[in-house]
Amino acid sequence: MKKISLVIAFAAAIVLAGCNGNKQTKNGSETDSTDVFVEQQIKAGMNMHLDSLTELWLRLKPSSFYSTTQDGKIILSQDEKKVKPEYLFNPEELASKLETMSYKYRALAVYAVDKEVAKLYDMKDVYTPAIKKLAAELNDPSLKFIDDNSEKMEYTELNSQAYKIAEENGRANRYWEVAASSIIEQIYLIANNQDKFLANFTDKDAEDMTYRTILLCESFQDLAEYHPDLANLNNVILPLEKLDALTVDKLREQLTELKADIEKSRAQLFE
């Protein structure tokens, strides 16, 4: 799958190359001025790029992972339910690591994903209390908006409004952090049980999942330039850029090949 908005990136590269090519003939003051101009142009290009990616992201329908778990497409036998997944996060064990706002947002995202899998296996719901506790600690208006309107609004409209509220409150970066953590956890869970989680996937679902990953990878490359606290997550998600499958068969193949990278990315969420 081709990258998004390559024209913008290419234009920024031309500006940079053109300015660098003239540096040798300028004095110190002019060089400083040129550096500032170049930096401004690159930042402007990145902002345009991120705006474009955000617009594309907000148009997406619910993740294919959720459509298979929440809509009852995945059915486990009683024998299958007896073998509980040991790879889900344990909120009690993870609690001591959630020392920063960043980690709390990430935990919120992975708990929401793990909660759906726990339901399939009739496991005790340890995630809802943990999610409520984190939401109270974060006191994020966009999270409250989602909680109040999730059953009243269409998904894409809810998503767009929540992002707008996050942006107004200076938390747009956290929105992307939640998105990245969620997709990493979804991919990790699917990689651990392909037979069940991909059983109802279509080729379109496979393409949708890899498309989300590419959007996130490109967004974090931009975000990390301005927000050092997100640089870690940029490094975490970057290996997943190798996922570019357009069919279920290809997605199975890539998940198998990249399983070690996926496990490493997931482990690094709270490091």
Q: Is the pLDDT of residue 124 over 60?
A: yes
Render pLDDT for 55-68 as a digit per residue (tens, 0 to 9): 766 666 767 777 77
Instruction: Identify whether residues 110 and 35 lie together within a single domain.
Output: no
pLDDT at 9: 28
pLDDT at 219: 79
Instruction: Identify whether residues 125 and 173 lie together within a single domain.
Output: yes
pLDDT at 257: 93
Instruction: Identify whether residues 119 and 5 lie together within a single domain.
Output: no
Amino acid making up residue 130: A
Instruction: Identify whether residues 108 and 180 lie together within a single domain.
Output: yes
Per the structure, the count of domains in the chain is 2
Instruction: Identify whether residues 15 and 102 lie together within a single domain.
Output: no
Q: What domain range includes position 4?
A: 1-53
Instruction: Identify whether residues 158 and 205 lie together within a single domain.
Output: yes
Instruction: Identify whether residues 77 and 182 lie together within a single domain.
Output: yes
Q: Report the range of poorest mean pLDDT among 17-21, 96-100, 232-236.
A: 17-21
Secondary structure (H, E, C), 184-249? HHHHHHHHHCHHHHCCCCCHHHHHHHHHHHHHHHHHHHHHHHHCHHHHHHHHHHHHHHHCCCCCHH
Q: For all residues of the chain together, what is the average pLDDT?
A: 79
Q: Nearest Cα to 172, choosing from 238, 205, 220, 242?
A: 220
Instruction: Identify whether residues 48 and 91 lie together within a single domain.
Output: no
